[in-house]
């Protein structure tokens, strides 16, 4: 990072972590090198993988704040994928609460791009064989098996891509490597309760009141995909509830793993947003 202002903070999805951004990062570097910061939550990628750890949205928000503080990031454009929508909503809540108390936030979020995330508790529709199953004892046993069995692992995650995309074995191998580091497959079980956590904190982690309060100071953008198997209703609800506040909402072709299926389009959108005042 060459400049502590106007950093692009990439907050990852579940369960792959910063691997989500690999194709987009390469395109951004080739087109227009920018100040980019990739956050890796505890439990993902190269981070530690503790078993007895309070995995939660609020702990992830704490981690992001600590990373921003460490790097002296004063302002940022936050790009989120998947469950990091919950993290950035918590960060925006904290930012607004400080401002209302007359406290200047050490890091100011100025723009937000949310990709295939969860924004409203009544919009969740995860298939029963995904996170609802992974959080159970059976799900834990399955993730333990997925640590060593490519067949089990592939069956668990292959549906995150659209059928039309036809994810390759090479991509699946990269995904396996990203998750399995330091016995990391168990993270799929330990962190699978994020939808329940959202529902338990639905008043606070609700994008509508956040946008209502902050849309004049923060630019909001949402991108969904037409074949998202996990959160297909969220972008529809966003259009119904947020259009009047000038939120830019777009639906692209692809499955849930749209950062892997449509990296060029997403890289272009990110560049367009960075150039806007």
**42: pLDDT confidence band, cut at 50, 70 and 90?**
very high
What is the bridge-based pairing of β-strands 75-81 and 219-225?
unpaired
The full set of domain ranges for the chain reads 7-125+200-275
What is the mean pLDDT of the segment spanning 17-34?
91
The residue that leads in pLDDT, 129 or 167, is: 167
Query: How distant, in Å, are the alpha carbons of 29, 157, 250, 273 from that of 111?
Result: 20, 31, 16, 8
Q: How far is CA 172 from CA 7, 48, 102, 138, 153, in A?
A: 30, 22, 48, 23, 9
Using one digit for the tens of pLDDT, what is the confidence trace for 219-242?
999 999 999 999 999 999 999 999
Helix (H, G, I), strand (E, B) or coil at 37: strand
Is pTM beyond 0.75 here? yes
Do the beta carbons of residue 39 and residue 15 sit within 8 Å? no
pLDDT classification of 3: cutoffs 50, 70, 90? low
Does 145 score more than 70 pLDDT? yes
* pLDDT tens digits for range 196-212: 999 999 999 999 999 99
The percent of residues above 90 in pLDDT, for the chain, comes to 84
Say which CATH topology domain 7-125+200-275 has.
Rossmann fold (3.40.50)
Q: What is the chain's mean pLDDT, rounded?
A: 94
């Amino acid at each position: 990072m060459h400049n502590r202002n106007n950093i692009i903070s990439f907050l990852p999805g579940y369960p792959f972590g910063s691997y989500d951004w690999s194709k987009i990062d390469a395109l951004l570097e080739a087109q227009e090198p920018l100040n980019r910061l990739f956050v890796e939550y505890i439990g993902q990628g190269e981070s530690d993988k503790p078993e007895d750890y309070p995995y939660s949205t609020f702990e992830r928000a704490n981690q992001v704040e600590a990373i921003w503080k460490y790097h002296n990031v004063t302002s940022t454009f936050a790009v989120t994928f998947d469950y990091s929508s919950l993290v950035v909503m918590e960060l925006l809540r904290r930012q607004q609460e400080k401002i209302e108390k007359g406290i200047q936030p050490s890091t100011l979020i100025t723009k937000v791009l949310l990709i295939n995330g969860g924004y409203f508790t009544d919009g969740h529709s995860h298939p029963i064989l995904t996170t609802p199953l992974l959080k159970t004892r059976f799900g834990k046993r399955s993730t333990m098996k997925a640590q060593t069995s490519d067949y089990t692992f592939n069956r668990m995650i292959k549906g995150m891509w659209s059928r039309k995309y036809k994810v390759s074995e090479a991509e699946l191998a990269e995904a396996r490597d990203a998750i399995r580091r330091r016995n990391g497959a168990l993270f799929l079980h330990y962190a699978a309760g994020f939808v329940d956590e959202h529902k338990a904190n639905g008043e606070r982690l609700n994008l509508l009141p956040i946008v209502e309060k902050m849309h004049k100071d923060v630019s909001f953008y949402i991108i969904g995909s037409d074949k998202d198997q996990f959160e297909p209703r969220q972008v529809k609800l966003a259009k119904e509830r947020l259009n009047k506040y000038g939120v830019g909402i777009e639906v692209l072709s692809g499955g849930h793993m749209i950062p892997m299926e449509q990296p060029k389009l997403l890289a272009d959108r990110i560049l367009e947003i960075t150039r806007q005042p």
